[in-house]
Amino acid sequence: MKKILFITIFLSLSTSAIFSQGIEWGIKGGINVSSEKSVNTDSHGETYHTTNNYGGFYLGVSAEYTLSDLFGVQGELLYTEIMSEWTSGAKWNYFVLPVTGKVYLTKGFSVDLGPQLGYRLDAIGSERKFDLSLGAGLSCKIGRRFDVSARYNFGLIDRDKEFDGKNNTLRFGVGYRF
């Protein structure tokens, strides 16, 4: 009985030590700049393209797991606000879950790439509740606790079932690791 108890305690402690070594938990926040691209037709039947940019913010939690000196994985759960003129200057509210693979170019500096799933909290009518994008960016750790990041998310699906338009967002932020 003592052997079983000892083995159970040993395995529990060693497993938690192995998995917690490379995980860094933190909080992060920043600004979004969303671009809205649309195709319009004027009264003469001429087609033209317009692009508008709008600001917003994001805030959430993150977890980064370092696989080696060269690779890591980061997951985040963020609340994000995206502005849009498409809906009369309305704010669109999302929970997003980006999961990025990280390639460390130097100690603390990485190129990040991965998918982002989104759930729109205030979708109505033909607006889609779910969003999917591909993010690419850079991250830099500053000391042991802070980091800065920039990421561009390329929208992969239309945000509305009846109209063309994807969520394309440039994100700048800062993070604090515990």
Asked whether the predicted pLDDT for residue 86 surpasses 60, the reply is no
Mean pLDDT of 33-62: 75
Q: Is residue 11 part of a domain?
A: no
Q: Is residue 12 part of a domain?
A: no
Sheet strands (E) in 85-166: 90-106, 109-120, 130-142, 146-155
Q: What's the mean pLDDT when you consider all of the chain?
A: 82
Q: Is residue 8 part of a domain?
A: no
pTM given for the model = 0.76
Asked whether the predicted pLDDT for residue 7 surpasses 60, the reply is no
pLDDT band at 16 (very low <50, low <70, confident <90, very high): very low
pLDDT band at 14 (very low <50, low <70, confident <90, very high): very low
Q: Is residue 92 part of a domain?
A: yes
Asked whether the predicted pLDDT for residue 88 surpasses 70, the reply is no
Q: What is the CA 125 to chain-centroid distance, rounded?
A: 26
Instruction: Write the CATH number for 108.
Output: 2.40.160.20
User: pLDDT digit string (tens) for 100-159?
Assistant: 999 999 988 999 999 999 999 988 887 888 999 999 999 999 999 999 999 999 988 877
Residue 132 burial (10 A CB sphere; 0-12, 13-18, 19+): middle
Q: Is residue 1 part of a domain?
A: no
* 4 against 73, higher pLDDT: 73
Q: Is residue 42 part of a domain?
A: yes
* 128 against 172, higher pLDDT: 172
What range defines the domain where residue 164 resides?
Answer: 23-177
The count of structural domains within the chain is: 1
**44 three-class SS:** coil
Q: Is residue 94 part of a domain?
A: yes
